Amino acid sequence: MAKKFDLKSYSQFFVLLAILLLSSCGSTNQQTLFNADSDISVESLKDIYVVNDQGQADLYYKIKEGDVIAIRNLQNKRWGIGQSGGTTSGAETSIAATNTAETTAITYIVDDHGMVKLPALKAPVKISGLTRKEATQKIQDLYVANLLVDPIIELNIVNLKVSLLGEFSSQGNYFLTKDNTTLLEILAEAGGIPKTADPRTLKIIRGRETIHVNLTDASIIGNRKLILQNNDIITIKPNKNALDQEKIQRFNNIIQPLLVVVNLVILVFTLSK
């Protein structure tokens, strides 16, 4: 004798299945990075708003222990040949240790005492605490004192970087290869901002300082606060349309499993008759 179909039992089973499906879909909600109490309404933001303004005292980066520098003498094609600097790796090596038609750039790591050992100089040179320009001039003067004819020293700090996180065309770390690199230059290097980003919500996190930027306002061009500094974190949020699309997608992720469950219930009920 065939066992009588128990619709109540099957219904309870499918309700439980629906709950499990809904709970698994609930984790798709994305979190916005670096929200803080200092965040402001984008509707009130006209150009730039700074929270915990630390001033411009650190506008020019000063060399620190552990920094990686690349040096070459533009007047001497064979300068530094046979010499080796500190050990570098990864992106630092690819940027710094480059050969050109003029001369070779050699990389050095500033040691724990703030010193580097350079070709043709008898003693290590202390450069920690100096800006790039100050260190360049100091090294050039030392080479003049050591009878090097008309040296033209080029020095770059090659490990300085900023991080782009959020609704960007290309996220990741970007190296500051020159003094006074601006926000707009880095955004251009990263391919700009996509149409899904809200240009009024860009934020630069600089230690204790937070800089809110409205990219739709042309008055931000030339603002000294938008000269980037080492380890700046730059974020931007999606715009309303992108958020609405995300909500629709999350709704679809929830409703589709429910429709599957309903169709299964109907199918089982139909076959049981």
Per residue in 17-72, pLDDT (tens digit) is 556 555 555 544 444 566 665 677 777 788 899 999 988 766 788 999 999 999 98
Distance (Å, rounded) from C-alpha 164 to C-alpha 175? 11
b/e code 10-35 from CB counts within 10 Å (16+ = b)? eeeebeeebeebeeebeeeeeeeeee
Where are the chain's structural domains? 48-58+160-240, 68-157
Query: Amino acid letter at 46?
Result: K
**Residues in Cβ contact with 170 at an 8 Å cutoff, skipping those fewer than 6 apart:** 164, 190, 191
Q: List 108's β-bridge partners, or say none.
A: 69
Domain 68-157 indexed as CATH 3.30.1950? yes
Distance (Å, rounded) from C-alpha 18 to C-alpha 14? 6
Distance (Å, rounded) from C-alpha 38 to C-alpha 205? 11
Sheet bearing 202-206, strands edge to edge: 48-51, 209-213, 202-206, 233-236, 161-166, 172-175
Each residue's pLDDT, cut to its tens digit, for the chain (273 residues) gives 445 545 555 555 555 655 655 555 554 444 456 666 567 777 778 889 999 998 876 678 899 999 999 998 887 766 655 555 554 433 333 333 444 445 678 899 999 999 999 988 889 999 999 999 999 999 999 999 877 778 889 999 999 999 999 999 899 999 998 888 999 999 999 999 998 899 999 999 999 999 999 999 999 998 999 999 999 999 999 887 655 566 666 666 777 777 777 777 777 777 776
Q: Which CATH number fits domain 48-58+160-240: 3.10.560.10, 1.10.3210.10, 3.30.565.10, 3.40.50.300?
A: 3.10.560.10
**What's this model's pTM, rounded to 2 decimal places?**
0.67
* Cα angle, residue 142 at apex, residues 91 and 94 outer, rounded to 5°: 10
* Cα angle, residue 230 at apex, residues 135 and 131 outer, rounded to 5°: 15
